[in-house]
Amino acid sequence: MLCEAMEAARPVLGTGKVADYIPALAAVDPNAFGMALATVDGDVHGVGDWEQPFSIQSISKLFTLALGLARGGDLWKRVGREPSGNPFNSLVQLETEQGIPRNPFINAGAIVVTDRLQTLTGDAFGAVRDFLRAESGNALLDADPAVAESEALHGHRNAALAHFIASYGNLDNPVETVLQHYYAHCSIAASCRDLSLAGRFLARHGLRADGSRLLSSSDAKRVNAVMLTCGTYDAAGEFAYRVGLPGKSGVGGGVLAVMPGRGALCAWSPALDQAGNSLAAVGALDAFVTATGWSVF
């Protein structure tokens, strides 16, 4: 079934535009494609370049959210749960909404969540990396330092967002610390295999690979719901319509989708549509779900 999904996406493979806001991302082959399925009982299957690491970018926001929620607290007082209707790096809503970002998956929201995780752990990036390593079994998984450095060099907008949020008193840690951890977790390189395994806790209603509980089943449901409504930039409606699963995308071209009770799927291909979602990855997920009927609807 994964092979059929890959074939179905072939007509759009390489169409669209590879993210080029930093040189390290622009150098990726637009025709690369991988897809992996990790089932709730532990199997993992893949096709194409499914073991090739790529820049996870905003997919990291899903893991910062889960880890930030896992220890309780008042995160939802500091970040909302509504689609923003604006680009992921937009500044405009923050002023009218007094420094409370619309949701945890736009950059402003992810910066607040990173701040929370930094307070909870003292090492927000390390917490995300260690979680991904543990769930995927890939002890070598790490940030790409060249990407992290490039993110910081071109990070004027994120720095503006962070300072603006801080001006409303919605950051506990110094702006520079929060940004450094935010860039680092966005710069993690992981494969479709790694990410499908790491996303499986959401298909297992909050249970990690070792059987311990990260989130209550209620919180796992909530994270999935926010992914469905806000996880794929300003095109979450289109993604829900086509794929019908909670999904989180990143400008590296990856998309992680959750099939509650069944497993997690990750597809990757670097060329993006105008909203920032990978054309071939979304196409393959659409084909897979249409063929299997494994949607939440």
Q: Is 251 a catalytic residue?
A: yes
The one among 54, 63, 88, 201 contacting ligand GLU by CB under 6 A: 88
How far, in Å, are 51, 160, 248 from residue 28 at the CA level? 15, 28, 20
Is 186 an interacting residue with respect to ligand GLU (CB under 6 A)? yes
Is 57 an interacting residue with respect to ligand GLU (CB under 6 A)? yes
Q: How far is the CB of 232 from ligand GLU (least distance, A)?
A: 10
Is 251 an interacting residue with respect to ligand GLU (CB under 6 A)? yes
Rounded CA-CA distance 69/210 in Å is 19
Q: Is 58 a catalytic residue?
A: yes
The one among 49, 115, 135, 151 contacting ligand GLU by CB under 6 A: 151
Is 103 an interacting residue with respect to ligand GLU (CB under 6 A)? no
Give me the catalytic one of 12, 18, 28, 58.
Answer: 58
How far, in Å, are 11, 29, 30, 271, 272 from residue 15 at the CA level? 8, 12, 8, 6, 8
Give me the catalytic one of 113, 128, 251, 258.
Answer: 251
Backbone angles phi, psi at 121, to 5 degrees: -115, -20
Q: How far is the CB of 3 from ligand GLU (least distance, A)?
A: 28
3-state DSSP call for residue 46?
A: strand
Contacts with 76 (C-beta within 8 Å, 6 or more apart), sequence order? none
Q: How far is the CB of 252 from ligand GLU (least distance, A)?
A: 7
Rounded CA-CA distance 37/109 in Å is 28
Residues that bind ligand GLU in the complex, under the rule CB under 6 A: 57-58, 88-89, 107, 151, 158, 186, 250-251
